A = this chain, B = another copy of it.
Amino acid sequence: MVTPNREPDIFTAISHPARRRILDLLVETDRSVNALAGDFQMSRPAVSQHLRILLNAGLVTERRQGRERHYRLVPERLAPVRDWISHYERFWDDRLQRLQEHLLRGEDL
């Protein structure tokens, strides 16, 4: 075997709609697995597997409370996505784009 370390990629973790939805649900508050699974058609083990992917990516943490496990969002881990997409901001932010064009024209502000 060659593969030494398959570091979990954030972009891969958020590529599945169900996992993005899980993160969205966790924005409001922590949730147990069953509380999350209630929002999905898929089986509870499937949700568990998605949670494990998010956990491996560091996007959520797990806190055991009795027989429940509560998952909490770790929003800082979304930074790579935020940073990457920010490189494209000038294309859709009209104000910034006008500012940039202004600056490129070499005029003073």
List of B residues within 8 angstroms of A82 by Cβ: 85, 88-89, 92
**Contact across chains for A81 and B91 when beta carbons are under 8 A apart:** no
Given A87-B27, A92-B82: A15 and B11 within 8 A (CB)?
yes
Name the prevailing secondary structure of the A interface residues: helix
A107 within 8 A of B: no
A15 touches which one: B12, B75, B79, B88 (CB < 8 A)? B12
A24 with B87: in contact, given A12-B15, A15-B11, A15-B12 (CB under 8 Å)? yes
Query: Footprint of B on A, CB under 8 Å?
Result: 9, 11-12, 14-15, 17, 20, 24, 27, 75-76, 78-79, 81-82, 84-85, 87-89, 91-92
